[in-house]
Chains A and B, each alone.
Chain A
Amino acid sequence: MKISVTVNGQTHESDVEPRTLLVQYVREDLGLTGTNIGCDTSSCGACSLHLDGEAVKSCTVLAVQADGSQVTTIEGLVTDGKMHPMQDAFMQNHGLQCGFCTPGMVMAGISLLNENPNPTEDEVRMGLEGNLCRCTGYHNIVQSILACAKGGK
């Protein structure tokens, strides 16, 4: 099926099988491998990206469902060579260990702050309930998002 999806500002006209998952589409068809596949069962959140501005689990969305939509992946956060403030906050606060969950955590964190710009620590923790870190590095991930919300580092 023919679809048209704008990913990181660039519109792609593609022909996909209806069963193609959005995460497959961005990784394999578009070569954007920053979005990871973890559990593949919509539990872990590693595949989180933004669909029309909101975090979704791209292992549980069909590419055809994203037809006509705006998608942002971790690769799309950099503008003019500068990292997104959330990425910067993760770097400054050591919000990662092995890094596998990090793209999903960053995308979920941005989505969370879009909906709740000044969250409490508890709200950040609840807001990340869909993202698992097997390193259990949650403390610094939460601190990173709180730091980003405060606009500091």
Chain B
Amino acid sequence: MIPSLFDYKRASSAAEAISLVSEYGEDAKFLAGGHSLLPLMKLRLAAPSVLVDIGRLKDLSYITDAGSYIAIGALTRHMDVETSPIVKQHVPLLACAAGHVGDPQVRHRGTIGGSIAHADSASDLPATTLALGATYVVQGASGTREIAATDFYKGFLESALQPDEMLTEIRVPKMNGAGWSFQKFNRRAQDWAIVGVAAWRGNGGSGVALVNMGSTPVLATDVATALASGASVADAAELAAAQADPQSDLNASAEYRVHLAKVLVRRALEEATK
């Protein structure tokens, strides 16, 4: 399968990339690792007329300790997030989730920014960074702004990013030793999760987010609220799907997904509760 014809532009800086995308408008797409976009283009589910390749902007591939949070450049590959000593120490839930994305070959190419900007509710990192209360830094022609993960996901493959904006950095608050768990339920290795759960608990708080339980990743605030008011893990987990609106597909019915969400949230919270 071959993508339909497109023009290829290689950007040598973030500013140039944004300028190129602004020039070509909504028909242009950023190409990072290409592991979300190229499969869609090969299936002709996406047919951008211009690809702006940002894959060589190495200055957007970094992981730094910024005090209260870890700053991760948007072009940092999954393999680098997964194996980073800084991420493993301060945000182990994210390191674990990054190690569950696709397979080693995919993780050699795919980037955290690409995955988040693609805004697929079935992907692991949008939900994981949502659970962790991350903030996304985006750059546009008119400057830079920060978008909370809670405000980012707008619909199926839709985000708060404007067509001429580029995600440049992901800021993930340090977990400060909180317990955590990442649950991914699928039938074959490397598949997308039928349902996934990213959860942490500790330091007087908790965060639970669901993978593939609706058109956007779902932050299960009802679960966190119940835990905060003293509910047991089992009782809180019963609320897992209260804010979700899962679809039925070839892999699972909506009802089965609701059941899975409750089971997986209970397992996750049991693992995360120290």
Contact = CB atoms under 8 A, between A and B. Distances in A.
Chain B CB within 10 A, most for which of A40, A42, A64, A108: A42
B104 interface: yes
Contacts, number: 83
Interface residues of A, number: 33
A51 B35 CA distance: 15
B102 A130 contact: yes
Contact of B42 (A41, A56, A126): A41
A40 B103 CA distance: 15
A121 B254 CA distance: 36
Nearest to A48: B105
A117 to B, nearest CB: 15
B128 to A, nearest CB: 19
Contact of A112 (B6, B51, B104): B104
A98 B102 CA distance: 25
A17 B2 CA distance: 11
B97 to A, nearest CB: 15
Given A60-B34, A60-B35, A60-B38, A130 B104 contact: yes
Q: How extensive is the interface on chain B, given as a class?
A: 20 to 34
A131 B189 CA distance: 10
Contact of A19 (B5, B39, B108, B190): B5
A76 interface: no
Contact of B104 (A1, A18, A20, A129): A129
Given A60-B39, A65-B34, A65-B55, A55 B108 contact: yes
7 contacts: A18-B51, A19-B5, A59-B42, A61-B34, A111-B105, A112-B104, A131-B103
